[in-house]
Chain A
C-alpha cells in the first residue's frame, strides 16, 4: 500500500541555520504530495503542496520539490526562525479510489529552533 517515511526527530537547530527534513514515499499511480505543520497548541495546517513530478511547492520560505525518480519530497528552508518550531508532517493523497483524497501521513518530525 501507499506509505510515507520521513526523517526521525527531534531535530534541534540554531536560528538562521539551514533546514532539511527528508521525506520519501511509496505509491502506485501519481499522488499529490504535501507538507503539513502543527504549531504548539494548534491544528494541522497545510504548509505547501505539489501535484505532479518536478513541481516545487513553496510557502513562508519553505520549499519542497516533487522528485519522482527518487520518490522524495524533502522540505527545505534556508534560514530558520524560532517561530518555525513545530511538528512537520509529510503526506500523500491516495487517489486509487476515484474522487477520494484521503491523506497518508508520515510519522512527523518535531523541529525545535533555539535563539
Chain B
C-alpha cells in the first residue's frame, strides 16, 4: 500500500513568512510523529499525536511552531514568522500503534531565506 506522503517536497520562503507542511500517514495508522533534521544531524523529535490529540509536544522549539491533526489522519505542521534557523528537513512518521515500527515519509525540505 501507499506509504507516508509529505507535501510539498521542497519549500522556499522568506524570513517572517508563515508556512504549512502536510503529512498523510499510512491509512489506519493512529500514531503520527513529526521530526526535524538539520544538515548533518539526526532527526529530532518535535511532536507526537495519538489520534486527534497531541500526546507529547515537548520537542516543539517555541510557540511559533504548532501542529494539528483534526480528524486523526492528515496532520499539518505550521510555522509562524519563519526564521533562517528553521531551515531543515521536516520528517513525518506514522505507526499502527504506539508500540509499533515508525514508517517515515520522504520529508519536506524547508529553506528560509
Contacts and interface: CB of A to CB of B under 8 A. Distances in A.
B65 interface: no
A107 B41 CA distance: 5
B43 interface: yes
A44 B43 contact: yes
Contacts of B35: 103
Contacts of B31: 101
Contacts, number: 61
Nearest to A32: B99
B56 interface: yes
Given A42-B106, A46-B101, A100 B44 contact: no
The 9 closest A-B pairs by CB, nearest first: A105-B42, A44-B104, A102-B45, A43-B106, A99-B98, A43-B104, A101-B98, A105-B43, A107-B42
Interface of A: 4, 36, 42-46, 49, 89, 91, 94, 97, 99-108
